[in-house]
Amino acid sequence: MTIDQFDFKGKKAFVRVDFNVPLDEHFNITDDTRIRAALPTLKKILADGGSVIIGSHLGRPKKVEDKFSLRHILAHVSKLLGVEVKFAPDCVGEEARTLAGNLKPGEALLLENLRFYAEEEGKPRGLAEDASDEEKAAAKKAIKESQKEFTKKLAALADVYVNDAFGTAHRAHASTALIAAYFDADHKLFGYLMGKEVDAVNKVMQDIRRPFTAIMGGSKVSSKIDIIENLLGKVDNLILTGAMTYTFAKAAGGNIGNSLCEDDKLDLAREIVAKAKANGVNLVLSTDSKIADAFSNDAKTDFAQNDNIPAGWIGMDIGPDSIRAYREVILGSKTILWNGPTGVFEMDNFSDGSRAVAEAIAEATAAGAFSLVGGGDSVACVNKFGYADKVSYVSTGGGALLEAIEGKKLPGIAAIEGE
């Protein structure tokens, strides 16, 4: 059942969204992208003559704290949605039940931060640092039991469950996965955003047009190893970039100066090179770098080969040879996945590589390739350089997207699809 097929007339819909937006010290929203992303789903339900009960988290509270209250975003949500959204100062209490029960068609209710309850995440809170294993086990068992009651109360607020929060789809939390068990197959569905995210991931990982190129950046090989392992069985070209490549350069016997390196992962780097060769994957590593004598935008800079960086100097971005090599591979691709910048793109003096990758992906997309950009830094890149609307899809999910690329079935997706 898709959201377009469902008629919400007269129905109360619990919609799990991701309104975890950044706030300044005065509680002003500094980026409302996530709120805007959920609007099509919310407006569809209201236009059908249904009512919406909006559930979200904000931050990572460990108790009830005003700075994490969703009350701070209420006015902006009302403005964007075009209706005066009511607010429940709780999410499962008596007032929340009353407000939800009294909702009329076309009305909306925003529940207070779901994570004010430990039951949302299902993790014990308040344990003493010296708690014994037995005490930890008892606390975990107790929270799992109370989580069932919490989830049941959330589900009782609505007639239908809509998950539109891909950013939390990798979490088996009460509102993102467990709640789905209280609705039959015809009354639990993806919102528009969630549907687009699932389609985009499937297109990149299953419905592949070749050549398929994945660009993986980041500082550590260890943090991307599961993704790399999975991609080596799928891609034609794997571009590894960012600071992780200095581990590969050192593993091959090069001098990398003061560049970031995981000395305990040199064997792993050599294994990845061997596995890529065995799988017939074209592994593209950066060969040169823009280097600096300090980790600063104002540092003295130069260029060097990755295996010959002088002592005291740091690799901060890819160099011109690598830009040309990456560009050639990207422009020859029909499916492109980008996760992770080529360097310290936040500093303007070291943003050329990431800009060049974004530009090449945009060109390939214009020529007919399908491109998926995901992960906080990559999304920040395409936004900073003005290419967000020139790629096929920009994912809102950081950890969720990475786990999907690793080949994991996300709890928030499995709960709807019944797998």
Instruction: Report the mean per-residue pLDDT for the chain.
Output: 94
Query: SS3 for 153?
Result: helix
Integer-rounded Cα radius of gyration of the chain: 24
The response to whether 57 counts as a known ligand-binding position is yes
| Tens digit of each residue's pLDDT (9 = 90 or more) over 191-241 | 999 999 888 888 888 888 999 999 999 888 888 888 899 899 999 999 999
**pLDDT value at residue 376:** 63
CATH of domain 12-196: 3.40.50.1260
Which phi and psi angles does 328 have, rounded to 5°?
Answer: -60, -45
The response to whether 289 counts as a known ligand-binding position is no
Residue with tokens 């467990």: 178
* Residue 53 · residue 103 · CB < 8 Å: yes
The response to whether 60 counts as a known ligand-binding position is yes
When pLDDT is averaged across residues 330-354 and rounded to a whole number, the result is: 96
* Residue 252 · residue 267 · CB < 8 Å: no
When pLDDT is averaged across residues 78-103 and rounded to a whole number, the result is: 97
**pLDDT value at residue 181:** 96
Q: How confident is the model at residue 135 (pLDDT cuts 50, 70, 90)?
A: very high
Give the residue extent of every domain in the chain: 12-196, 208-406
The response to whether 315 counts as a known ligand-binding position is yes
202 compared with 86, residue with greater pLDDT:
86
Lowest mean pLDDT among 141-150, 371-380, 409-418: 371-380
Token couple for 37: 């992303």
**pLDDT value at residue 378:** 86
Which residues, 6 or more positions from 416, have their beta carbon under 8 angstroms from its beta carbon?
163, 180, 188, 189, 190
| Tens digit of each residue's pLDDT (9 = 90 or more) over 45-61 | 999 999 999 999 999 99
Q: How confident is the model at residue 374 (pLDDT cuts 50, 70, 90)?
A: confident
Sign for the pseudo-dihedral over CA of 342, 347, 348, 349: negative
The response to whether 376 counts as a known ligand-binding position is yes
The response to whether 130 counts as a known ligand-binding position is no
**pLDDT value at residue 250:** 97
What is the secondary structure of 219-271 as a DSSP string?
S-HHHHHHHHHHHTTT-SEEEE-GGGHHHHHHHTT-EETT----GGGHHHHHH
Lowest mean pLDDT among 151-160, 219-228, 359-368, 385-394: 219-228
**pLDDT value at residue 409:** 87
Share of the chain above pLDDT 70, in %: 100
Q: How confident is the model at residue 121 (pLDDT cuts 50, 70, 90)?
A: very high
May I ask the CATH class of domain 208-406? alpha beta
Residues with a catalytic annotation lie at: 34, 220, 376, 399
- Domains 12-196 and 208-406 belong to one CATH topology: yes
Burial classification of residue 80, based on how many CB atoms lie within 10 Å of its CB (0-12 exposed, 13-18 middle, 19 or more buried) = middle
The response to whether 125 counts as a known ligand-binding position is no
| Tens digit of each residue's pLDDT (9 = 90 or more) over 390-405 | 999 998 777 788 888 8
The response to whether 375 counts as a known ligand-binding position is yes
When pLDDT is averaged across residues 323-336 and rounded to a whole number, the result is: 98
Does the structure show a pLDDT above 80 at 359?
yes
The response to whether 171 counts as a known ligand-binding position is yes
Share of the chain above pLDDT 90, in %: 84
Token couple for 39: 């609007």
The response to whether 224 counts as a known ligand-binding position is yes
| Tens digit of each residue's pLDDT (9 = 90 or more) over 92-108 | 999 999 999 999 999 99
Does the structure show a pLDDT above 80 at 266?
yes
The response to whether 18 counts as a known ligand-binding position is yes
When pLDDT is averaged across residues 133-144 and rounded to a whole number, the result is: 94
The response to whether 263 counts as a known ligand-binding position is no
The response to whether 283 counts as a known ligand-binding position is no
Does the structure show a pLDDT above 70 at 166?
yes
